[in-house]
Amino acid sequence: MPEVTVTEHLLLHQKLSPHATGMFTGLLYDLILSGKSIAMRINKAGLLDVLGGTGMVNVQGENVQKLDDIANHILLYRMERCGALCAMSSEEEPDLIRVRPEFPQGDYILIFDPLDGSSNIDVNVNVGTIFSIFHRPEGGSGEVRLEEVLQQGCRQVAAGYMLYGPSTMLVLSTGQGVHGFTLDPGVGEFLLSHPNMQIPEQGYIYSVNEGNRQNWSDASREAVDWFHTTRAANGKHYSSRYVGSLVADFHRTLIYGGIYMYPPDADKPQGKLRLMCEANPLAFLAEQAGGKASDGYGRILERQPDKLHARTPLFIGSRRDVEAVEAIYARYPR
Sign of CA dihedral 17, 275, 243, 74: positive
What is the nearest approach in angstroms of ligand P6P to the Cβ of residue 10?
28
The correct pick among 179, 272, 292, 303 for binding ligand P6P (CB under 6 A) is: 272
Planar angle of CA 121, 126, 131, nearest 5 degrees = 100
What is the nearest approach in angstroms of ligand P6P to the Cβ of residue 314?
9
116 binds ligand P6P (CB under 6 A): yes
Q: What's the 3-state SS for 30-62? A: HHHHHHHHHHHHHHCHHHCCCCCEEEEECCCCC
What is the nearest approach in angstroms of ligand P6P to the Cβ of residue 315?
13
The correct pick among 245, 253, 288, 312 for binding ligand P6P (CB under 6 A) is: 245
What is the nearest approach in angstroms of ligand P6P to the Cβ of residue 128?
8
- Residue 117 or 291: which CB sits closer to ligand P6P? 117
- Residue 30 or 249: which CB sits closer to ligand P6P? 249
- Residue 133 or 314: which CB sits closer to ligand P6P? 314
What is the nearest approach in angstroms of ligand P6P to the Cβ of residue 91?
9
CA–centroid distance for 124 within its chain: 20
The correct pick among 246, 275, 283, 308 for binding ligand P6P (CB under 6 A) is: 246
Number of residues counted as binding ligand P6P (CB under 6 A): 10
What is the nearest approach in angstroms of ligand P6P to the Cβ of residue 235?
28
CB 278 within 8 A of CB 248: no
Planar angle of CA 278, 280, 281, nearest 5 degrees = 75
317 binds ligand P6P (CB under 6 A): no
- Rounded CA separation 10/8 (Å): 5
Radius of gyration for the chain, computed over Cα atoms and rounded to the nearest angstrom? 19
- Rounded CA separation 150/145 (Å): 9
- Rounded CA separation 310/226 (Å): 28
* H/E run at residue 262: strand 259-262
Binding region for ligand P6P (CB under 6 A) out of 177-185, 222-230, 245-253, 284-292: 245-253
133 binds ligand P6P (CB under 6 A): no
The correct pick among 119, 152, 217, 240 for binding ligand P6P (CB under 6 A) is: 119
* Straight-line distance from the first to the last Cα atom of the chain, in angstroms, rounded to the nearest whole number: 49
Sign of CA dihedral 26, 32, 38, 44: negative
- Residue 234 or 270: which CB sits closer to ligand P6P? 270
244 binds ligand P6P (CB under 6 A): yes
- Residue 86 or 246: which CB sits closer to ligand P6P? 246
User: How many angstroms separate the Cα of 10 from the Cα of each of 25, 31, 161, 272?
Assistant: 8, 14, 16, 34
Question: What distance separates the 2 farthest-apart alpha carbons in the chain?
Answer: 60
290 binds ligand P6P (CB under 6 A): no
The correct pick among 21, 124, 176, 209 for binding ligand P6P (CB under 6 A) is: 209
- Rounded CA separation 50/67 (Å): 6
What is the nearest approach in angstroms of ligand P6P to the Cβ of residue 187?
30
Binding residues for ligand P6P (CB under 6 A): 116-117, 119, 209, 244-246, 249, 272-273
